[in-house]
Amino acid sequence: TDWFKRTFSDPQIVFLTLVLVIGFAVILTMGDMLAPVLASAVIAYLLEGLVVVLEDRGIPRWLATTIVFLAFVLFLGLVLFGLMPLLSRQVTELVQQLPNMISVGQNALMALPERFPDVISPTQAEEILNGIRREIGSYGQQVLSVSVSSVVGVLTILVYLVLMPMLVFFFLKDKDIIMGWFGGFMPGERGLADMVWREVDRQIANYVRGKFWEIIIVWA
């Protein structure tokens, strides 16, 4: 059609379309395999804003990168060794209190026929209780199977915890080298793609800043 010829006769539009198609294809086909790389790239992109702020204040990039990366590792360590033990302790207390909670619920359920004989009979209460016991038993089997299969997941998380910070650091440190390498595969005339990227970058920056202040306000 005329619209198709008019639109795709511009090489910059063709280039932008190819970049989007290839990017989505890579994510859809190799997203699981490249998950740590993609996640590290996103984190490095978010941290790059802090590096730029420090650079604008006269701090060399290598030092700004080191400061931001150490702050990121400190935050990650705070989450892992500060919040995770607290969450684990809460879960442990819940598991310990679970038998008592079940016993209280059982006694309350068996007392219903005495208090409301016209609403529920002892037989109905017993049937409900047996159903709850069956559900708890099946749930316990599911938890056991998940706990066994989650060993691989735990090992994967440990690998990510080592691999991703290293990737984040090198993405920040070698940003210019990486961008130059990617730029070597791109045509010289890519003004439209650059304009779209700048707009996306601006919108993402506004979104991140908005979420940051939202978190600060909610926590306050």
Structure tokens at 20: 């989007």
CB distance 168 to 69 below 8 Å:
yes
Mean pLDDT value of segment 17-44: 78
| Residue 65 confidence (pLDDT) above 80 | yes
Greater model confidence, 62 or 147 = 62
Domain boundaries, the chain: 31-189, 190-220
The backbone torsions φ and ψ at residue 74, rounded to the nearest 5 degrees and listed phi first, read -65, -45
Greater model confidence, 144 or 116 = 116
Angle at 20 between CA 14 and CA 23, to 5 degrees: 135
Give tens-digit pLDDT for 86-105: 777 777 787 777 778 777 87
DSSP one-letter code for 121: -
Give tens-digit pLDDT for 135-185: 776 766 666 565 555 556 667 777 788 888 899 899 888 887 877 777 666
Greater model confidence, 212 or 55 = 55
pLDDT of residue 27: 73
Neighbours of 65 (CB within 10 A): 25
Q: Which among 133, 93, 24 has a CA at the least distance from the CA of 16?
A: 24
pLDDT of residue 63: 92
CB distance 171 to 44 below 8 Å:
yes
Most confident listed range (49-63, 87-101, 120-134): 49-63
Residue showing tokens 């700004």: 64
- pTM, 2 dp: 0.58
Helix, strand, coil percentages in the chain from 3-state DSSP, rounded to 5? 90, 0, 10
Q: Report the b/e string of 78-103 with b at 16+ CB within 10 A.
A: eeeeeeeeeeeeeeeeeeeeeeeeee
The residues near 34 (Cβ < 8 Å, ≥ 6 apart) are 26, 27
Separation of alpha carbons 18 and 5, rounded Å: 16
pLDDT of residue 70: 93
Q: Which helix (H) or strand (E) holds 137?
A: helix 122-173
